[in-house]
Chain A
Amino acid sequence: MNGRKSGLLLEVKDLTIHYVTDDGTVHAVENLNLSLGRGETLGFVGETGAGKTTTALGIMRLIPSPPGVVKGGEILFDGEDLLKKSESEMRGIRGAKIAMIFQDPMTSLNPVMTVDKQIAEMIRLHKNVNEGESLKLAGDMLELVGIRRERMHDYPHQFSGGMKQRVVIAIALACDPGLLIADEPTTALDVTIQAQVLELMKKLKQQFDASMILITHDLGIVADICDKVAIMYAGRVVEYADKRALYTNPAHPYTVGLFNSVPDLDEDRESLNVIPGLMPDPMDLPSGCAFHPRCTRTTDECAKKKPGMMEIAPGHFVACPQAHGEGRRRE
């Protein structure tokens, strides 16, 4: 919780991850670039199969191999390339410096271990404390996430879904990590419980001065807690911008389509403007821009050339040549 240096915490450069299977190669993540400043929250938005979770697992070096292969790129965390770390060095980083919250709290907790022991396990793994101290710290963490100390000896099944996710958050934050990766942390929860958990995450992120990558498919949650947004489609980031820029001036046709697909509470529309067609098969991506068969602005060029990232406004990157004219190339 001490004052951390300013500047970039995480920089991912040209990350490419493939899954090599007997049926073919799945291009899960292709040439992905992104950066995250200290204290920032980055929203990672996309549909099922866009490569959001693969990217997160890639940063944690948790891609199951086989079939997963990190084909190339760099993941600079605090200036050091995580892809060059040994497995034992990574074990020191996971949990201590980068922690992850998974989607389903029902399955990410150990059902036969009381919650205080699960938190203490994390603390003892990374800090030089004895069992008694670690259990005391575990109790503190539980109180921090809004669970009464009396319940620390309970098992996960004795908690509701929202409470379980609070326990998971307590485990993730127990070692004061600089980066928190939350993979759809509230998707399994009801709206009123989701609101509670999001408020809690916002508060704790400030308190711990951590950066966060929030993976979600809900543009509403992004509007609520993120600073920056990356929109993913078929393994690539198609738009990356400040939240305000993205919501007021979405430039990529896919982003626009995504916004139009969400029913608006303030508007009365007979039918929604949908993006025609389906997500492409990641084993057999269309040539050129992966979105071109579904795009409203397709030109002949789109099928031939993969569009590069253009900066159409300071800090607003779009991978579409049609996006509002004369942007300048990123590199």
Chain B
Amino acid sequence: MTSDYIRVESLKKYFHTKRGLLHAVDDVSFTVRKGETLGLVGESGCGKSTLGRCLIRLLDATAGRVLLCGGKCADIDVTRASKAAMKELRKRVQIVFQDPYSCLNPRLSVWELIAEPLIVNRVFPGKSAMRARVRELMNTVGLAERLENSYPHELDGGRRQRIGIARSLALNPEFIVLDEPVSALDVCIQAQILNLLNDLQREFHYTYVFISHNLSVVKHVSDRIAVMYLGKIVELSDYKELFVKPLHPYTQALLSAIPVAKLDVRKERILLEGDVPSPIEPPEGCRFMGRCRRCQSLCGEKTPPLREILPGHFAACHFMQDAAVDL
């Protein structure tokens, strides 16, 4: 039985905007187990990146708790940790950003970029030990040593993303948030990076939260998948079950919309009407009701909670029985 690594309890993140309060992440609770990959999917603006950033406190949460279960040490609430505690914590939790073009300082060489976290945290007293560690990291992520004096602009997207990964691995973290790490890359390079992330996890037993809008990619890497819609998790389940037995109407539409690179597999496509509504001051009730096929009056009155419908399979919809019929 794997233990929980992160417990998120009623996490909220609101942003003040000119037009009102933007509910980016709205009352989300879930756990990430030690050593697993939790996939976080959703369309742009659903709050998946905001949630990822709240997990490692790159953003301060508005309410709720993010508990890091340390095994030996006591649980730490990331949202309330002191500055000193946070600095220690940063060695354990890391992030890889989406855009390998903008997340690297263009004036630092590959060597300096990868050494930066080691220097900031004063890991090595001497230069030679640090040099050896940087070399080791470059090998781990598949960067040739001859590149150590190159600058980011000289490298292609795949290599830049490898630098981003090497930086996040430098301090031997336990947990890495991967925020759309392959979205900016071509399919062939994307496949290389996905394999790399997979190999690293097997070797070093990292816990990943993998954020992406690409369902095929998420299915490939994840153990469990959470589907987000307008700041809420609408479904959470084992990766296989989600694709075979999607319960929430949004998940069903999302799955049916993926173009499949095969002939004669055309399933009935559920076309959603309209666009994702604004997350600013959303009305009470189910966020998906305006576009839902199953919408009834109850949906506008009460927000459906995330309930365990099948063992380990959670969904937030009032009409789960109908969902079972639809399948």
Contact = CB atoms under 8 A, between A and B. Distances in A.
Is B a genuine binding partner of A? yes
Interface of A: 47-48, 160, 162-163, 190-196, 198-199, 217-224, 243-244, 247-248, 257-266, 268-275, 278-279
Interface in B169-215: 186-192, 194-195, 198-199, 213, 215
Contact of B191 (A190, A265, A268, A272): A272
B194 A247 contact: no
26 contacts: A190-B44, A190-B276, A191-B43, A191-B215, A191-B258, A192-B254, A194-B259, A198-B259, A199-B271, A220-B259, A220-B261, A221-B259, A222-B261, A247-B261, A247-B263, A258-B188, A260-B191, A262-B187, A262-B261, A263-B191, A265-B216, A265-B243, A273-B191, A274-B192, A278-B156, A278-B158
B289 interface: no
B257 interface: yes
Contact of B219 (A219, A220, A265, A270): A265
Contacts, number: 112
B263 A190 contact: no
B321 to A, nearest CB: 25
A261 B275 contact: no
Interface string B247-276: 000000110111111110110010110011
Interface string B224-252: 00000000000000001001000000000
Contacts of B194: 263, 271-272
B55 interface: no
B217 interface: yes
Contacts of A270: 198
Given A47-B188, A191-B213, A263-B217, A220 B43 contact: no
Contact of A263 (B219, B257, B269): B219
| Residue in A47, A191, A196, A244 with the greatest tally of chain B CB atoms within 10 Å | A191
Interface of B is mostly: helix
Contacts of A244: 263
B220 interface: yes
B257 A195 contact: yes
Contact of A265 (B43, B156, B192, B258): B258
Contacts of A191: 43, 213, 215, 254, 257-258
A261 B188 contact: yes
Nearest to B184: A48
Contacts of A219: 261
A221 B253 CA distance: 17
A162 B275 contact: yes
A279 B159 CA distance: 12
A243 to B, nearest CB: 7
B67 to A, nearest CB: 31
B186 A217 contact: yes
Contacts of A268: 240
Interface of B: 43-44, 156, 158, 186-192, 194-195, 198-199, 213, 215-217, 219-220, 240, 243, 253-254, 256-263, 265-266, 269, 271-272, 275-276
B261 A272 contact: no
B137 to A, nearest CB: 20
B217 A160 contact: no
A158 to B, nearest CB: 12
Contacts of B271: 195-196, 199
Contacts of B258: 191, 220, 265
B253 A262 contact: no
Contacts of A274: 188, 191-192, 195
A278 B272 CA distance: 38
Nearest to A200: B271
Nearest to B202: A270
Contacts of B272: 192, 195-196
A217 B216 contact: no
A25 to B, nearest CB: 20
Contacts of B216: 262-265
A224 B272 CA distance: 18
The 9 closest A-B pairs by CB, nearest first: A220-B259, A263-B220, A219-B261, A195-B257, A190-B43, A261-B191, A47-B186, A272-B191, A274-B191
A49 to B, nearest CB: 9
A261 B261 CA distance: 11
B262 A223 contact: yes
Nearest to B273: A196
Contacts of A243: 263
B260 A223 contact: yes
A191 B243 CA distance: 16
A220 B260 contact: yes
Nearest to B220: A263
A15 to B, nearest CB: 23
Contacts of B276: 190
Contacts of B219: 263, 265
B153 to A, nearest CB: 14
A95 B217 CA distance: 38
B220 A48 contact: no
Contacts of A265: 215-216, 219, 243, 258, 260
A272 B220 CA distance: 9
A317 B265 CA distance: 25
A248 B275 contact: no
B190 A261 contact: yes
A193 B253 CA distance: 11
A10 to B, nearest CB: 25
Given A275-B188, A278-B189, A193 B275 contact: yes
Contacts of B262: 223, 247
